[in-house]
Structure 1
Amino acid sequence: MKTFTLAVLLLAGAAAPAVAQDTSPAKLIAGYEAAAGTAADPAAGKDLFLAEHGGGKPETPSCTTCHTADPRAGGQTRAGKAIDPLAPAANGQRMTDTGKVEKWFGRNCNSVLGRDCTAAEKANIIAWLASL
C-alpha cells in the first residue's frame, strides 16, 4: 500500500506545472515594504531603474543597459541573449516566482549598483514595474 501511495504522489507531482508561481507583484511589494518598514514609492523605483550608477560594473551602469528604458519591451544581455519584458502587464510570468525574483535582484543589483538592493529599493522597483 505504501508503494502504491508513493507512486501516486510521484505521478501527481510529475503532472504539476513546471512553472513555479508562488507569489505576485502585490505580495512581493508587501513583503519588501514590511522588511523595509516603509511604503513602496513607484517614482523612486523608476528613478533607480533609469539612472546611471557608478558603483557596479562599468559595462552595466544602468538597469536599462540590458532591459531598455521601457520595461514593457524586451531587452538583451551584453552577450546577445534576449530578455523578456520586465513589466508584469507585458509578461505575466514576471514577479510570480520568489526564487527567481531574488536571484535576479541579487545578480543585477550587484552588477549595476555594486551591492545588494535594499528591501525598499526592491519594493520601489516592483511597484513601478507593476504600475506600467
Structure 2
Amino acid sequence: MSRSLLSLRRLRATLLLIPTATAMPTANAAPPSELLGSYQTQSGGTQPVPSRGQQFFNASHGHEWTCATCHGAIPTQTGKHAATGKAISPLAPAFNPERFTDAAKTEKWFRRNCNDVVGRECTAAEKADLLAWLLTLKP
C-alpha cells in the first residue's frame, strides 16, 4: 500500500474519532442536582442542610486546613492550593459549570480533599450538605 494512501486512512480514522473523543466528557455529565440527590439517597434520605454545608466548609475539623484554605473563603472565586500555589477554579457550580457534573471526578476530589481536611472520607450527608450550600451561591 502506498505511503500516501496509508496516511490518508490514518487521517480519516483520526477524524472519525474526534467527535467521539470530544463528546465523551459530556456523555457522563449530569447536573449537580442529580449528584445531590444521590448523596441524599446514600445518607438515608436525610434532607441536606445548606447552613451545615457552609459550616463544614469553614471548619478546621481538628486539622490544619479547612476547605476554605484552598477554595477561598468565597467559593465563587478562584482559589489557590495552600501547598502548591496552583490556581483552583471556583467551587460553586453557578460560577464553574463543570463542577459536580462528573460523579467519578467529584468522588476522586472529595476523597482527596476530605482526607486532607477531615482526616477521613466525608460521609454522604456531609457531601450533600456541602453541595446543597454550594448550589445556593448564585451570581
TM-score of the superposed pair, with normalisation by structure 1: 0.83
Which moved further from structure 2: 69-78 or 17-26?
17-26
Compare relative contact order (CA 8 Å, sep 6+) and give the higher one, 1 or 2.
1
Instruction: Find out whether 1:101 has 2:106 as its counterpart.
Output: yes
Q: Distance in 2 between matches of 1:68 and 1:101?
A: 18
Q: Distance in 2 between matches of 1:118 and 1:102?
A: 11
Give per-residue Cα distances to partners, 1:33-70, cap 9 Å, x unaligned.
0110111111100000011221x4x3x2x111101110
- What does 1:18-97 correspond to in 2, within 5 Å? 18=25, 21-37=28-44, 38-54=46-62, 56=63, 58=64, 60=65, 62-77=66-81, 78-97=83-102
Q: Distance in 1 between matches of 2:119 and 2:22?
A: 41
Which moved further from structure 2: 37-46 or 13-22?
13-22
Instruction: Find out whether 1:118 has 2:123 as its counterpart.
Output: yes
Q: Distance in 2 between matches of 1:15 and 1:76?
A: 28
Q: Percent identity?
A: 50
TM-score of the superposed pair, with normalisation by structure 2: 0.79
Q: Distance in 2 between matches of 1:85 and 1:21?
A: 21
Q: What amino acid sits opposite 1:73 in the alignment?
A: Q
Q: Structure 2 stretches of 5 or more lacking a match? A: 1-12
User: After the TM superposition, which segments of 4 or more aligned residues of structure 1 sit over 4 Å from their partners?
Assistant: 17-21
Report which of the two has the higher share of helix.
Answer: 2
For this pair of structures, how many residues does the alignment match? 120
**1:90–1:21: structure 2 CA closer, same or farther, 3 Å change rule?**
farther
Name the structure 1 match of 2:132.
127
**1:101–1:14: structure 2 CA closer, same or farther, 3 Å change rule?**
closer
